[in-house]
Amino acid sequence: MGEEQGHIDSCMLHSQSDSSTLRSLSISVDEQNVIPGALRLIHELRPDWNPQDVQTKLFTDGLTNKLLACFVDAKMDDAVLVRIYGKRTELFVNREDEVTSFQLLGAHGCAPALYCTFQNGLCYQFMRGLALGPEHVRDTQIFRLIAHEMARYHCIPAHNGCIPKSGLWQKLDKYLSILNIDEGLPDRWPAGAPSLKDLENELSWLKKYLPTLESPIVLCHNDLLCKNVIYNEEEGHVRFIDYEYTGYNYQAYDIANHFNEFAGVSEPDYRLFPGRQAQLHWLRHYLEAYRRMKNEEGDLQEEEVEDLYAQVNQFVLVSLWPFFFFNFTV
């Protein structure tokens, strides 16, 4: 992997909170019957709540995990979210990194409070708002907020001036290795799809070419599905959720991945991928926010917008890889 090998462990994500002080509960929640285990967790986290008053709400949008809200206030202002990891997700998610990312983002006001870990999941603060769909992210008012929030992520500094490296290639190598050992894969492999060897060759080319674009390495969300954006209309902001893949990566990758998500997930419609003018509009808002947070002087130049547009539309190629991985392995 050479100089690109490091991901989180090459320039450690560092949280202002000490992960050793985070509560860790020896409780496992049955993925097929989540409520009993969730109520055991709530008994530990909210001992003053009357068990008979606790209400639950199961969210059904998750691709790989299960999510349950527990609350006593009808408005859910006091809700605790219980997230149960999906089976086999440990193959491609480092849970220690996820906790560190959660705490780091929380320290910068980009994530809710993390209450505890348990044997197969996390408990954390509920964030009020609307989980977006493809019909929302094209709305000018909302995409300006998304661009601003992404700029906030990208401006979070590395610890002690460390120069981070992208974890992209390491993850894609891992995805390919999982495909290579999946004995049932040939039966699920779609007709006309490129072979594994073709994919390995393409990945090899992308590894050589994309770094030459010199996209900055920043702290990225790396999984900005529409539903991972929560819009709080009352407070006029968006927040991102689900930090399983958060880590250092190319700036252009994070943006490209989000643009790919405009198509949706369950039945992607790539006609919804934003066109040139829509992208340029989005990128101007992003760069204005990014430059402001970086205290860069002078006016934004159109050349900067065009340069980022060119980078993003080449990283679109590699940000499709996770779609491929999830479609054929999970």
DSSP-derived secondary structure letter, 22: S
pLDDT of residue 138 exceeding 80, the answer is yes
pLDDT (tens digit per residue) in 233-266: 999 999 999 999 999 999 999 999 999 999 988 7
Domains of the chain, earliest start first: 8-125 (3.30.200), 130-329 (3.90.1200.10)
Give every CB contact of residue 267 below 8 A, 6+ residues apart in sequence: none
61 vs 124 pLDDT, higher one? 124
pTM of the model: 0.90
Nearest residue to 27 (alpha-carbon basis) of 138, 135, 117, 146: 117
Query: How far is the C-alpha of 265 from the C-alpha of 322, rounded, in Å?
Result: 11
pLDDT (tens digit per residue) in 54-72: 999 998 766 678 999 999 9
DSSP-derived secondary structure letter, 183: T
Helices (H) and strands (E) in the chain, counts: 11, 11
Q: What is the pLDDT of residue 2?
A: 37
34-48 CB burial, b ≥16 within 10 A, e <16: beebbbebbeebbee
Q: What is the pLDDT of residue 8?
A: 43
Question: Residue 306: what are its φ and ψ, rounded to 5°?
Answer: -65, -40
The sign of the torsion formed by the CA atoms of 329, 31, 225, 132 equals positive
| Size of the chain, expressed as the number of residues it contains | 330
Mean pLDDT of all residues in 129-140: 95
E strand map for 224-314: 229-232, 237-240, 247-250
Q: What is the pLDDT of residue 196?
A: 81
Query: How far is the C-alpha of 286 from the C-alpha of 295, rounded, in Å?
Result: 14
| pLDDT band per the 50, 70, 90 thresholds, residue 19 | low
Q: What is the pLDDT of residue 1?
A: 33
The pair of three-digit structure tokens given for residue 40, joined into one six-digit string: 């055991």
User: Worst-scoring range by mean pLDDT, 29-33, 78-82, 129-133, 262-266?
Assistant: 262-266
